[in-house]
Every structure is written in C-alpha cells, then in structure tokens.
Amino acid sequence: MNVPVNGFGLGARVEHYEDLKRAADEGWGNRPEWLEFISENFMVGGGAPLVHLDALRARYPAVLHGVSLNLGSTDPLRADYLGALAALVERVQPAWVSDHLCWTGTAHGQLHDLLPLPYAQATLAHLCGRIQQVQERLRRPLVIENVSSYVQFAADEMGEAEFIAALVRRSGCQLLLDVNNIYVSHRNHGFDARGFIDAIPAAAVVQIHLAGHEDEGGLVIDTHDHPIRAEVWALYAYALQRLGARPTMIERDDHIPPLPELLAELDQARAVARAVLA
C-alpha cells in the first residue's frame, strides 16, 4: 500500500496498537492514513512485535524509521544491523526507509541519542560513502532526517541547510523534514527557520515530522512529550507553502495520550494543510 502524498499518519506506539486496529476495522473517519514504525523495535526473529507489525501493516500503509544506523560514526557500518534491516524491509515493503543525519555511538556501544555532526566537507564525503553503502544494501534511496541540536562545532564550514542540500546532490538520498527539529535548533542557535526551509531541495522531501518540545526559555529540548506548539504549526504552514503537499505525521514518545487525543491533533494538521493548500 502506498502512502498518499497528502496523507496524515502517526508513529505506531505499543499503547495504541489495539485501538489502531479497531480504527481501521471500524472505519473511523479521522484514523491515520499511514503509520511509521521504529525499525529497531521489529528487527527480531519473531514474537509479539512482528505479530503486531503484520496486523497493522495489513491495515495501513507503512514506512520504517530507524534510530541506530549511526551514519555519522567513524566505525564501520554494522553488517549485522544492515542485514536485519534489509530483512525487515523485505518483510514490510515500506514506502520508504529513513534514519537520522547524526551519529549514535561507537564500536563500544550505542549512546541512545541522536548526536550532531560538524557541517564540513570532510563530513560530507564521509556520509556520502556510507549512505551509498546503505542504499546498495537496501536497494532503494535512503531518507535522511534533520536532527535537533544544542551545540555547534567550531569546525563547521557551512550551515546545516546548505550541508543537507549538498548531501542530497552528492548521495542521491531523500529527506524527512522534521519541522519541530528545525524550530528547536533555530531557537538554540539563532538561525532563520524559514530560510532553512527555503534552502532545502524541495523535490527531495518525501515526508514531514511534527512533534512537541520542552521550552525552557534559554534552551529548547526536543522531547516528543508535549502537544505541538503554535510556533511549530506556523512553521509547518510555511513548509507546506514552500513544498506543497507532503505526507505528514505526528511523533509522541513520552506522556503518550489516548489515541483519540492524538487523532484530534492529527486533524489539526489536516486543517493547517487544507488552509495552506486550498
């Protein structure tokens, strides 16, 4: 099943599995039109995770979203990880496969965080080679997400948006534009959030993420545990003006509310898109 270009989805979380099945079976009018699954949760040999995955995949179009590919590390890409991911891709046949523009650990272990990279020519060359390895293994373009960040590197040679545009040109990857991450980093670093969106190669964007964050005044943290804030809705509207319709989904990873509450927020995303694209 294909993800509709103007479709609105949710990140599938275990708290909602049964309600998501019921929403599809009963034809809820505001049910999500597609689901995003965290790849690592299903890179297993069997058991309940795959039972739920198969049941939901039979009801909804699916995409896979990883958090541990570790593209930015200087350690070799893990062959066992890529093998397990390729097997999952074969099983799910997702519309696309995404991961993050970051590093997540070393050969000694995962740090379970999405850590930023210096935006420099050497980093660009390093990433392009690794993205090519992944794309050859999966036999499809890889979709890369911009991350939120709290520090910048003295070694930076260009801005983040310029770096991402160059990465797309050189590697052939596609983009998952996380609007909340743009807002968080814009607040932490002071760059122009709309200018960031203007600089992104629009044709490469296949998906948009929306989420909530923690605003502590001097620091904004990407927590995924709040409803989407008004400033992020406004930036999402601007992104749609710039990009046109794009598959959009909401991430919630903590303080997860009942499914109807998230569906109401998804309806808000639909309303923003209707107003912008009318």
Contact status, residue 144 vs residue 98, Cβ threshold 8 Å: yes
Q: Please tell me the number of Cα atoms within 13 Å of 83 on its side-chain side.
A: 4
Q: What is the pLDDT along the chain (278 residues), one digit of tens a residue?
A: 899 888 999 999 999 999 999 999 999 999 999 999 999 999 999 999 999 999 999 999 999 999 999 999 999 999 999 999 999 999 999 999 999 999 887 666 665 778 899 999 999 999 999 999 999 999 999 999 999 999 999 999 999 999 999 999 999 999 999 999 999 999 999 999 999 999 999 999 999 999 999 999 989 999 999 999 999 999 999 999 999 999 999 999 999 999 999 999 999 999 999 999 99
Contact status, residue 58 vs residue 91, Cβ threshold 8 Å: no
What would the 3-class secondary structure string for 181-228 be? HHHHHHHHHCCCHHHHHHHCCHHHEEEEEECCCEECCCCEECCCCCCC
What are phi and psi for residue 251, nearest 5 degrees?
A: -105, 135
Task: Spell out the domains of the chain, with CATH numbers in brackets.
Answer: 8-25+32-277 (3.20.20.150)
pTM across the whole model: 0.96
Question: According to the model, what pLDDT value does residue 89 have?
Answer: 98
- DSSP structure class, residue 40: G
